[in-house]
Amino acid sequence: MSAAILYATAVLSATVFDVTFDRANEAYRDGNFPEAVTLYEQLVDDGVVDAGVFYNLGNAYFRSKQLGPAIANYERVLQIDPNFQSAAQNLQLCIDRTPRGAGRPLPPDWEQSLLFWHYGLSIGTSATAAAACWLIAWGLLLMRLIRSVPYTRAVASGAFLLATLFATSVWSKSHPLPLAVASAVEVPVYFDRDTDSAIYFQLLEGDRVLVEQAAPGWLKIEAPGGERGWAPISNFVLVGPPYDRPPTQEINPESSTISTHVANAP
């Protein structure tokens, strides 16, 4: 009985997803971009984490003239699928439209040094490689108990090392940089959580920053140049996870060069 209930729930969830996704795509194609945003965000609110949904949501935000949320959603796509070329291209086009055109905050030094090779891999690829290397290593050690083969221990040690590196890649991809995107034209950053305190520096629309700490109504951020301070959370779109809805901001008109076709249902 419980299995039947679970199956029925899964079927119902899939049906609800398909209906909402199709309605969102239809609204997008009809040029009703605010409605498309609402429907795609509804899927995200329901717990859908899918590169195609985030890609379409980024396109809908862009067409709705909200650059910050568009950038944030393209970042979400690339967290899930680093090889999603349309998302990477659209992200760069959006960044080129920002006042500063600032680069993305860099990962920690240890990640850049140790995992420089993993940025084009998905988390699933890294996990599969880690499991394969682990099994190969133990298989070689077991084989060595049965029959002595030259260099078996050395090769097994190398396989264990590779398994550790791929597992570290999985952990890193499972704990992405806590990014936020400035969504207002100018975002003052203060020394303290008080708008009456001194302004330390300003961010511009589309700037991506690291989130070091969150407090009610505020974020402590680090800019790509290393500056740190507090800014109102209402001026940012959080990349996530979690994937919270952003505040609505108006920006410059859309560009005709961006690739804003909708992705198919997963």
CA dihedral 122, 124, 125, 130 (to 10 degrees): 130
What is the pTM for the complete model shown?
0.78
Quick count: other Cβ atoms within 10 Å of Cβ 263? Answer: 19
Q: Which residues are within 8 A (CB) of 252 and not within 5 positions of it... i.e. 6 or more apart?
A: 65, 67, 97
Distances (CA, A) of 23 to 29, 32, 33, 180: 10, 11, 12, 29
Q: How far apart are CA 70 and CA 76, in angstroms?
A: 10
Q: Are 27 and 39 in contact (CB under 8 A)?
A: yes
What is residue 103's predicted lDDT score, i.e. its pLDDT?
86
- Strand 208-215 vs strand 236-238: parallel, antiparallel, or unpaired? unpaired
Q: Indicate the domain borders of the chain.
A: 2-105+177-238, 111-174
Q: Are 62 and 70 in contact (CB under 8 A)?
A: yes
Q: How far apart are CA 219 and CA 184, in angstroms?
A: 15
Residue type, 169: S
What is residue 261's predicted lDDT score, i.e. its pLDDT?
59
What is residue 250's predicted lDDT score, i.e. its pLDDT?
44
The number of helices, as runs of H, and strands, as runs of E, in the chain is 8, 7
Tokens of 254: 């859309």
Q: How far apart are CA 15 and CA 97, in angstroms?
A: 38
Q: Are 138 and 175 in contact (CB under 8 A)?
A: no
Q: Which superfamily does CATH assign the domain made up of 2-105+177-238 to?
A: Tetratricopeptide repeat domain (1.25.40.10)
Q: How far apart are CA 180 and CA 170, in angstroms?
A: 22
Q: Are 180 and 238 in contact (CB under 8 A)?
A: yes
* pLDDT tens track, the chain, 266 positions: 455 554 444 444 567 788 899 999 999 999 999 999 999 999 999 998 899 999 999 999 999 888 999 999 999 999 989 889 999 999 999 999 999 888 888 888 888 899 888 888 888 899 999 999 999 999 988 888 888 778 888 898 999 999 999 999 999 888 887 999 999 999 999 999 988 888 999 999 999 999 999 999 999 999 988 899 999 999 999 998 888 887 654 434 444 445 555 565 43
- Which long-range contacts (C-beta less than 8 Å, at least 24 apart) are formed by 29-36? 29/262, 31/63, 33/60, 33/63, 33/64, 34/64, 36/60, 36/63
The burial class, CB within 10 Å (0-12 / 13-18 / 19+), for 209 is buried
